[in-house]
Every structure is written in structure tokens, then in C-alpha cells.
Structure 1
């Protein structure tokens, strides 16, 4: 978009430069081509001394230069046009006789009001009224009605252009703010995905490796199973990370590779092999769950199991997934110690669960149970509005 604006700006500058040259050519013709006086008004230009004609020509060039740069240097152009217009009043060729000085002053003031920044209208008004005020006093023709009419005819449309430009700039700024917010939100989602992938995988791998070490001498078969599970989880983590990198690079991936509550075996096996027991109950039709809600439910369950495996190794975990008419409910309860349980690792696990629920307009409750153990309960609405966010290939709603 920047290069488009640059091209438009260059075209405007070129058009103004051509306009300035055309005005200079027309003004020179007014000065030097013998014509009858303007309806019997004004001086006979053929009788004006050559020195004064040279001065008037220089002032004409200044006026036309002001038109050529009225958008690049709007306030300076308005001041230059007003100064040249006022200076020409002191010559034998007043600026009201040739029409070009009048057009040039009006054009410079128009540009100053339209693009002259905060003080543009003030600079243009002062330049215009001072020049015409001196003209009125010098000639004795104090037709202020005409002067004000010309001012309104020029500066009124210019002010409308100024308002349109200001509105366009506000819209551009708003779009930039929204883009920045979207980028920040996307970074947060990617960070959450990385946390979910790495935290769960590494936690389970550490627990399995510890279990293998504990029984390495007494139960070689169980130790071998634990080490095999470490490899499986490691491969799953690498696959998830590759999937995330594919998305970040902009490549396409198939929707069938999305995490889903319909495929929980790899997620549950890590906790089971690490010494814990997981009982899963699914009520309802998971095929009726929108993809975005399904992925978020999977990530919630993944984080809850990671929390249980880390803080309550060997505990029995009960997982309940209920698909209702209006919402998806995921409940994870373990019988391990609940007191003092907090976010795992860097402190973003349980917080991430709450953020996912809020993203879909749902609710999340985490904390120790009265009878012992720890519970994570999440409700995610199934409505079209809540599920409108399309999941990315990593599983984060886009």
C-alpha cells in the first residue's frame, strides 16, 4: 500500500508542477502579449517600464511556484503566494488586473487548508485576508463581500477535503491498531500452543523416564515399556512441533491432522504408562462438536492431564466428556493431593485453560476438592457464534 500511495503522491506533484508551468505561461502571455485593456480597466501594460515588468514577472514566477508546491510545502506555499500577491500591489501592475495572481493565491490557500496540518487553515486565512486587505486599501475598492465570498468558495471545499483526509487517516490508524492487536493475539495463541505441546510431552517423558529408572533392575520389561513410551511421546511432540512450524511458514495442512477428542489414546497412554490410571467416560456424539471447540477441548484435557501427571504421579484420574445440546463439558478429577496445586512449569497451564474457555465464551473452574484430590471443569458453548473461529492447523482458533 505504501508504494501505491507514493505513486499517487508523485502523480499529484507532477500535476501541480504542470499546472504551475501552465499558469506561468498564461500569466506571461497576459503581461507581454499586446491585448486590449481588461474591459477598459487596469493599466496599459504596454506602457509599463521594463524594470517593473521584470519585477512582476519574478513575482508571477513566485506565485506559480507556490501552486506547484502547495501540497509538498502547503504552509510555505500559502505564505509565498500571499507575499508575492501583496508585493505586486506595490507595482504599476496590480494583481487584480491579470487573473493568474488571483488563481495562484486561491490555489495555494486551498492546498494549505486541505493538507497544511494543524495550523494550515490559520496560515491560509492570514495570507489570504492580509493580501486582499492590502489590495482593498491600496485600490480603494473595499468590496469585502466579494473577498469573503471568494474565501468561502475556496476554503470551504478545501476544508471538506481536509476532513475527508483526517477521516481516512483515522481509519488507517484504526486498521493498524487492529492489525497490531491481531498480531499480538496470534502470538499469544502460538505461545499457548507451544506450551501445550511441549509441557505435556516433556512432563510425561520425564515421568516415564523416572519410572523406567526406578524399575530398571527389578522389572526390565516394565522399564522397556516406559522407555518405548518415552520414544512415542517424543515422536508425537516432534510431529506437533513440525505441524506448528508448517502453519507458521504459511504452508497448508489437512484438517484431518487436527487434535481431536475422538482420538485420545496417544494422550492417555503417556499418563497410564507413567504409573497413573485414567478412566474415560464420553457421553454424547463427538461428531456434533464444531472443530474449533473440539480442538480446544482436547487442549484443555491435555493440560489437565499434564497437571495431574506432574503434581499427582500415580494417581487415578477420571475424565468425563459430555456433549450436550448447547455446550461441551470436560471434567478431569484426580485423587492426588489437591492442596497447594498451582500452574505447572512457568505458571501458564491452568491459566491457559481459563483463557481458552474465555475465548469461546465458556467457563472454567480449577481447584482442590473438598474430599481430596483436584478437579478441572470446563464448559465450552457449541453455538455458531462461539465456534465461528476457524482452528488453525496447530489447533488454535484463528
Structure 2
């Protein structure tokens, strides 16, 4: 829309210049004045009515070329060149009045400055051919003057063209960066949704399965498992609602998941039968919001993998806040299996991708004595590179 407005203003400007030039040209043709070149050339007022009509039509052609040069620069410069050559065949050469050469110069400048592909070449050919024919007919081939005018007009016009091209390149680059940022944001939201839903659903499925297994033999235990399913379901709904509020710029950073509030996460994991031991070393309050949220999601994904692949295992979670980085170590004593990603970009692969966004490192491997180990290091300075609001939520 802004570009269209710019084109509209440019078109109106060239139309105004065209009308002004037409009025000036009519004054040159019909107002009795002395000869234009002292001692040379006829007085326009002494020409026949037929030649005056031809010159008026050519003047209208010049002015039409000027009026249209902002919108159709290549066609306009060709029209101006044709009119210039045609006037060279009349008794009043285009070198005498000022309007023809002025029109040709204006149209050549505009064509080079704002024309599309091949516009500079078309403008140069039109100018040199028309000027060359005119000087040849006048038997005064002053090529030094022709080249001087060409350099004086087309040099600055080409500089304007280069500046416009650079501005368009910067605009296109900004659009590409914006599109890439939107893509990254969609990927972050997808990971956030995966982290919320996969953890909650995994715990709910295990609890529902446990309730079904003891429904006939231990009704109280079955009710406890179903209550846990309800609690986890409510937590998932709250998390999804919180994510939507943050995406709509209505949520606050204080409501985001945080390593300082791990009790709901650990309670859900323990309700699924996994024993969790947590050790925190350092001040979690020094961790930037974006790193804090990502660390929480990494820990959530690691514990979800334990619930899925090693139910009933014992898990040791160590969170260490150093001077320059945040270290998270999760190790379980479950069955020694290799937990590969399914290729969807989530799971262990999602942990690696999330950590790489902050320039950190992630190591996932089977434990030495069985089970599985996840070790993550997140630079604390990564928070400054991440968005502080919606970006921090993911």
C-alpha cells in the first residue's frame, strides 16, 4: 500500500510537470519573440499554419512523455526520442526552443532512475540516436555537448537508481527476516504445545491404565488414580490457557513455567509411580526468564520420557546454577534402552533443538549402570537474545 501511494505521488508530480512544460512550449510557439538562436533559425510565428499544427502535436507528444515517465518510463523515453527526431525534420529544429530538449532530459533521467530492467540502455539509445540525428541534420555534430549532457543527466540518475535498488534490497531482507522470525515463532509454539500436552497425556494414560488394572481388586487405589488423571487434566488445561494468553499478549512472565516452581511437575511424575529426588544448587532467581522456561521444558521432557519408557524407576534431578550457565542433569535407573526420537522433531530431538536456540549443549545417552541420562547446559546470557514476552514463553 505504501509503495502504491509512492507511485501515485510520483505519477501526479510528472503529470503536473508535463502540463507546465506544455504551457511553456505553447508560449514559445505562439508568442511573438525574437529568434531563439540569435541570427539563426526561423521565427515560429512566421511558419505556416500546417507546420505550426505539426509542432503543436509534437509538443503534446513531449508533454505526454513527461507526464507518463513516472508510470511508463521506457515507453515515455521512446516517445520523447521519436518526437525529437520528428521535429528534426521540421523547419524549427528541436535545438531552438527549450521545451523539446528539456522534455528529453527529464524523461531520460526518470527512465534511468525508476525504470525497470534494461531501462538505462533504452534511455541511452533513445537520447544518443535522437540527439545524433538532430545534430547531423543541423550540420553541427557537437558530440562533446551531447556527451556532457548525457553524463550530467544520466550519472545522477544512475546513482538514484542504485540507491533505490539498495533500499528495495533492504526492504526485501527485512521481509525475509520477519518471515523467518514468524516461522521460528511457530516452531517454538509447536514445541510448547508438545511439551504441555505430551507430558500431561503420558501421565493421564498411565494413571488411567493403573486405575483399570486395580478397578476390581482395589477400588480406593483406582479412585486415587482417576483423581490424579483429573488433576493432571486440569493442569494441562491451565497451561494451554496460559499459553494462549501469552500469545495474545495478555499473560505476564510471572505466570510462565519456572524451575522455581517444580512441585506441580514433580507431583504429577510421582503420581505416575516414578520416584524423584531433586537437588538444586545455586540461586534460580538469577536465571533469565527465557532460559528459565526452556530449562523447565527440558526437565519436563526428560521426566516425561522416564514416565513413558521406565515407569516405576527412580530419578535423580540435579539443577546447578553456575556463574555463566545453567546445568540440568537427569538420570534414572530404569531399563537400559536407547530412547530414539520418532523423527517428528520432538522428544530427545526437541530437547536438542531447544537447547541449540540458546547456544547450549545437550547430551542424551544410556546410563553406565542402566537407565538413561540427560545432561543439558544453557548459557545464562541466552536470555538476552530471546524475546522477553511471547518469545520467552516458548
TM-score by length of 1: 0.95
Q: Find the counterpart in structure 2 of residue 226 from structure 1.
A: 225
Distance 1:215 1:394, change over 3 A: farther
Unmatched tracts of structure 1, length 5 or more: none
How far residue 199 of structure 1 moved from its aligned partner, in angstroms, is 0.6
2:302 is the alignment partner of 1:304:
yes
Separation in 2 of the partners of 1:372 and 1:258? 34
Paired residues in the alignment total 393
Q: Say which SS state the counterpart of residue 328 (structure 2) adopts.
A: strand
Which of residues 347, 351, 357 in structure 2 aligns to 1:359?
A: 357
For residues 134-162 of structure 1, give each alpha carbon's deviation from its aligned partner in whole angstroms, at most 9, with x where no partner exists: 01110111111111111111111111110
C-alpha displacement at 1:8, in angstroms?
A: 2.5
Find the counterpart in structure 1 of residue 169 from structure 2: 170
- Which digits, 9 at most, give the CA deviation of each residue in 1:218-248, with x for residues without a partner? 2222222211111111111111111222233
How far apart are residue 344 of structure 1 and its match? 6.5
Partner of 1:183: 182
Given candidates 250, 256, 259, the residue that maps to 1:258 is: 256
The residue that corresponds to 1:61 in the other structure is 60
Q: Does 1:390 align with 2:383?
A: no
Which residue in the other structure is 1:321 paired with? 319
Aligned twin of 1:127: 126
Q: CA shift at 1:281, angstroms?
A: 1.1
Of the candidates 335, 340, 357, which is equivalent to residue 337 of structure 1? 335
Which portions of structure 1, spanning 4 or more consecutive aligned residues, are displaced by more than 3 angstroms? 344-347, 385-388, 390-397
String of CA shifts for 1:292-325, please: whole Å, max 9, x gaps. Answer: 1111110000000000100111111111111122
Change (3 A) 1:365 1:116: same
1:160 counterpart = 2:171: no
Question: Secondary structure at the residue paired with 1:151?
Answer: helix
The RMSD of aligned alpha carbons is 1.5
After superposition, residues 1-398 of structure 1 pair within 5 angstroms as 2=1, 4-38=2-36, 39-248=38-247, 250-343=248-341, 346=344, 348-383=346-381, 385-392=382-389, 395-396=392-393
1:110, 1:52 → 2: CA distance? Answer: 30
CA distance in 1 between counterparts of 2:384 and 2:375 reads: 19
Closer/same/farther in 2, CA of residues 111 and 395 from structure 1, 3 Å limit: closer
Matched residue of 1:379: which SS?
strand
Residues in 1 aligned to 2:185 and 2:345: alpha-carbon distance in whole angstroms: 20
Q: 1:391 to 1:374 in 2, by over 3 A?
A: farther
Asked whether the 8 Å contact 1:361–1:386 carries over to 2, the reply is no
Structure 2 residue runs of 5 or longer lacking an equivalent are: none
> Match of 2:320, SS?
strand
Does the CA-based 8 Å contact 2:288-2:383 persist in structure 1? Answer: no
1:82: Cα distance to partner? 0.2
1:345-375 Cα deviation digits (max 9, x unpaired)? 9551111111121111111000111211001
Cα distance change on mapping 1:149 and 1:334 into 2, 3 Å: same
Distance across 1 between alignment mates of 2:80 and 2:343: 70
